[in-house]
Chains A and B, each alone.
Chain A
Amino acid sequence: MIRITRKVEFSAAHFYHNPDLSAEENKRVFGKCNNPHGHGHNYVLEVTIAGEPDPATGMVLDLKELKDILQREVVDRMDHRHLNYEVPELAGQIPTCENIATVIWKLLQPRIRRGKLDRVRLYESPDLFADCTAGSANGAGARP
């Protein structure tokens, strides 16, 4: 099996606020991320596809096709957007790195027709990233 990875970047605004919590609780839990004016990041997304290279083309999945999928599903949706207000898939969720990565996983999975979506890694900054990998949602590990 071979893994191939494509990287794209997008820039977006967000802030963390849970309407079920009081103003004080929001401030305490989310700190400066709770600023209602929002703030932003240059997100870096790495998407890994695993599979066997097609004997005819030598490719697991044409990277051009993957590039187009990432452009359509992620960049067009999220680049230069406010994640709290402009991405319906995130509605009702706090747009944390964990939640954005999970939404991206769910957007991409049905679009990958060759190979298998292996990992979605989303960097919010060079020092913070979330990984989504095939497996159970509770972190118990990969499915048998």
Chain B
Amino acid sequence: MNTSPKISLTRRYRFAASHRLHSLKLSAEENARMYGKCNNPLGHGHNYIVEVTLTGPVDPVTGMIANLGDLDLFVEREVVEAFDYKYLNEEVPEFQAIVPTTENVCREIYRRLERFPLARLERVRIEETSKNSFEYAGENATGN
């Protein structure tokens, strides 16, 4: 039997930023033990790749879940401009109180993109390096 599939669209974006993993709730020794070289007080950086996945009905007029031009503008404004070539700990206000681990960066980007008005945000996935990736699909997602 032919059933209609669920459809999603994923677009990848990039930003480069520096950060330092350091928790104000831990002592200097505990920070060093917990975060290792990521605790370097001078910081370090990554080329982050952000995958943004949208779902929703395909508009019969455009054949699209959402116009990519609109999505690009929104992600550019909400995420890339705010994060690219920045020191996350000091230049993104949310990370003054929480550690900019990529788990937290993922959740913050999801929070910002959830406001995209033209389709439903399904998931944000971040590659911090080619070996590490993180995904967040909201608190209500199955399996979270």
Residues of A within 8 A of B (CB): 16, 18, 20-21, 29-31, 93-99, 101-102, 105-106, 109-110, 120, 126-143
Contact = CB atoms under 8 A, between A and B. Distances in A.
Contact of B55 (A30, A139, A143): A139
Given A18-B61, A138-B56, A130 B6 contact: no
Interface stretch (B8-16, B17-25, B128-136): B8-16
B8 to A, nearest CB: 5
Q: Which of B6, B58, B68 has the most CB of A within 10 A?
A: B6
Nearest to B12: A127
B63 interface: yes
Contacts of B61: 18, 20-21, 29
A139 B7 contact: yes
Interface residues of B, number: 27
B64 A96 contact: yes
Given A98-B58, A102-B58, A109-B2, A139 B8 contact: yes
Contact of A132 (B6, B62, B63): B6
Contacts of B57: 137-139
A105 B141 CA distance: 25
Q: Which 4 A-B pairs have the closest CB atoms?
A: A94-B63, A135-B6, A139-B55, A137-B4
